[in-house]
Amino acid sequence: MAVSKFKNHQQSLKLKSSMYKITLLAFAILFSISCESKVKNSIKDTAKSNVEKPVKLSLNDLQEYEVAYFASGCFWCVEAIYEDVIGVKEVISGYSGGTESNPTYEQVGRGLTSHAEAVKVFYNPKEIDFKTLVKVFFGSHDPTTLNRQGPDHGPQYRSIAFYSNESEKKIIEEYIAQLKNEEVYSSPIVTQVEKFVKFYDAEDYHQDYERLNPNNPYIINISIPRYKRFQAKYPELMKKSGH
């Protein structure tokens, strides 16, 4: 009986050890496609890209449109989603919500500033309104995870809905109240509703990153699935020329 118990104990230990190794391996894989590796690999990946760059609208062309700002995790993902929403004319990846001037990707990505990765959305109010952009914002990320989206963690990936005037603030707050009343989420919404102050464009190699780097592991495993989830949920909001 004692020998049998000993063998069972040994087998149990081996099983726990194997499960622990599998857990560590899964964590290592997840980490390899998360924020830290993004900081290291983004320039290199863009340099290798053979995809033709899309034509960006000039600042003069964009002057006739309204602008909205959002932060909801990795800006590669967020930019790609908003770019394909009907009525959106241009999206710029960048940094906002902090106090430091001229932040860099390495600083923000490593959590060395108070900024979050964000996007600047130029839209035609005749085709889409601010409330619908807010709907896209909440519908394309998890607003209940504090300082985290998917494998990316830290305050630089926090959820922020920026407003430029009281009308936009009211729209955001009313939409949050609606989500709460409808009990859309089982956990509390942690999205910050902040007055917009300043937006800093990200480095050139971040613009249209998902489109230009389709073979990047992060894009394949995180960004594109996130895009597809939103697309499946709100197909009526998406351009036919999208992904």
Query: Which CATH number is 156's domain given?
Result: 3.30.1060.10
**Residue 184: inside a domain:** yes
Catalytic residue ranges = 74
**Residue 28: inside a domain:** no
**Residue 18: inside a domain:** no
**Residue 25: inside a domain:** no
**Residue 14: inside a domain:** no
Write out the DSSP string of the chain: -HHHHHHHHHHHHHHHHHHHHHHHHHHHHHHHTSHHHHHHHHHHHHHH--SPPPPPPPHHHHTTSEEEEEEES-HHHHHHHHHTBTTEEEEEEEEESSS-SS--HHHHHTT-SS-EEEEEEEE-TTT--HHHHHHHHHHTS-TTSTTEETTEESGGG-EEEEESSHHHHHHHHHHHHHHHHTT--SS----EEEE---EEEPPGGGTTHHHH-TT-HHIIIIIHHHHHHHHHH-GGGB-TT--
Q: How many domains would you assign to the chain?
A: 1
**Residue 136: inside a domain:** yes
pTM of this structure: 0.82
The tens-digit pLDDT sequence of the chain (243 residues) is 554 544 554 555 454 445 544 444 444 444 445 555 565 456 555 545 556 666 777 778 899 999 999 999 999 999 999 999 999 999 999 999 999 999 999 999 999 999 999 999 999 999 999 999 999 999 999 999 999 999 999 999 999 999 999 999 999 999 999 999 999 999 999 999 999 999 999 999 999 999 999 999 999 999 999 999 999 999 999 998 766
Quote the domain boundaries for residue 109. 47-237
**Residue 33: inside a domain:** no
**Residue 207: inside a domain:** yes
